[in-house]
Structure 1
C-alpha cells in the first residue's frame, strides 16, 4: 500500500499544465500541452532526499533604496547614489556593527563615470590616507583658510580710505594668524568624527617617541635659525638687485618696532597664536597632504622626495599669493624652511618633531626681535 502511495506522489500531475498523469504515460494527455513527462525512480528520489543538505540561513544584507532614481544600493559605505547623486539614508550603527561581524563577502563594484570601480577604493583606512580622502580633507581645509582670509581682508579694507593701505599694527599682526589656525581645524574635526587614529596625521604620542621628537625638534630648530639668517641675505640681495617695487626693508623694520613697543601680555598672546598657527599648518600640510602624497607615490625614496617638494611648493605658493607683494621676497625662504621640515618628518616619522622644531624656531625669533 505504501508503495502505491509513493508512486502516486512521484508521478501525479504534469509539471507544465497540471493535468493528471496516469502510470506508464510518457507524454501529457492534454492536447494543448503534450509535453514529455519525466518519471522519477523511487530509489533515486529517496537518495536525493537523503543527500539534500539543510537550508542555510540567508545572510542579512543591508540595502537601501535611492529616493531619486529607485536604485537598490547594497554597499554600506556609500553616502550618495552613484547613479543620480541623491543622498542616501544613513545606516543605523547597530546594523553597521552586525554587518562588520559577518564574514567578508566578494568584492562589490560601484558604477562611476561610465566604469565599474571596486568598492574597496571607497573604504576608509583608520591609519592611512588614500588619495581621494586626503585631497578632499585638505581641499576643505584650504577652502576654510581662503574664506577666513578674504573676510579679514574685507573687514580691514573697509576701515581705511580706498587710496590708503591697511595700517600695520599689533592688531593686524594678531589677526593675520587666524586663517592659519583655522587651516588645521577641519582635519582634527574629521579624525575625531570618523574615530580614526591620530597616527593617520603622523602623531605618535607614546612617551619614548615624544622624547625622540623633542630632541630632533630642538636640533632642527637650530638649523632653521641658520636658514633664517641665510634668508635675510637672500631678501637683501633680491631688494638690492632691482626687485624693489616694495620697500621690504622698511616694512620689516616697522614690524620689529611694533613688536618691541608691545607690552608683555600682547607678546604672550602673539606667542600663543603663533604656536596654534604652527600646529595647525603642520597638521594640514604634513599630517594630511604629505602623508596622502607619500601613500600615493609609494613609500620609497622617490615617493618621499616628491611628497616633500610638492608640499613645500604648495605652501610657498599659497603664502606668495595671499601676501603679495611681501610674499615675493619670502617665497625662497619659505620653500627652504618647508623642505627642511619635510626632511625632519621623514627622519623621525612623527609630526611632533616638525611641530616642536617650528615652534622653537618661531618663539626664538619673537624673543630675539623683542628683547635683543
Structure 2
C-alpha cells in the first residue's frame, strides 16, 4: 500500500447516497458535498463521512482518497469488499468526548429523580478524594464538573490520551497539578471522569451500565456501546489513523473512560441528539439546565455547547476527539435537523473546514 501521505495527494473520490422514508431520490447539496470533500483535500484526512437527518429524510455522503489497493489494503464490511480507508454508513467508530453528553444526561436524570443535586459538593459523593495542590472537593459542586468550571486540571495533559488508566489514577494525575481559577471555563476531561464515579456511587452501577439502561436501550442505539477494556471495534468498521499516519484502529478505551470511551455510529448519534433536544430523555427543567451556558460564560452548557453560524443559525451538540477519530454532531434546537460528520483521524489540517461544513448544512440556501 502506498504511504498514507502519498494517498492524500491523489484525486478525491466522493460518493453521495440519498435516502428518504419514501425511497425517493433527494438532490445532493453541492455546498455540503464540497465542504466534505475539502476535509480530504485541504484537511488532509484519509476519509470523511456525514449523515444528515431532517424531516424529508436522511442523506449520507463520504469522501476518501482512492487507492490502488491490493489484498492487504481492503477490508470486508457487511459482506462487501471496500477500501480500508472508506467510511461506511453503518461503521462503528470511537466518539471521544461525545461520551460527555451521555454522562451528563445520566447525571441530570438522577437529579430529576432527586437522587442527587447539582449543588452537591463533589465531597458529598466522593469524600476525601479531591484533595491536594490546592484542589478541594468540598468547594466544588457537580454543576462545576458538568460545566467545566471546577478548575481541575486535565489528566490527559500528562497521559496524552494514550495511557490506559483507572478512574482513580486519572484523578490522581490531575490532582498533582495546581488548579485553575474556580468558576472560569476550563475544559477538563477530569471533570467527567469524576462524574462517572459519582454515578456509580449514587446508583451502585457503572456509568456505562446506567447509560445503557437509560439511553442506549430505550432509544434502540444498536451500534452504540461502552467497550470497557476491549481494544477492537465491532464490525463493520474501517481503519483509524493518528496525525502521523500510524494505524491506531486498536485502542484501549481506558485512555479516556467516562470522558471519552464511547463507540457508536453516525445514525445512532443523530438519533440520540435528536431525542435529547426533543425532550425525550430529560424533563423540561433539566433540559433547560443542560442548555444553560451562563455558568460557563456562554461557552458550554452541561455536556452540550452551542455554535452560532455566520448566517445567524445556532446549532447545539458536541465534538469528540480520541486517538484515530474525530466526530462532530450538531442539531437545531427543535431537533428537526441534525448532522454528524466524522473523519478517521484525530487531526484536521485546516480548522476552518468544520464551521464551513456546518454552515453549508444549516444555513439558508440560495437557488
Taking structure 2 as the reference length, the TM-score comes to 0.25
Larger gyration radius, structure 1 or structure 2: 1
Taking structure 1 as the reference length, the TM-score comes to 0.25
Q: Is the strand fraction higher in 1 or 2?
A: 2
Q: Is the helix fraction higher in 1 or 2?
A: 1
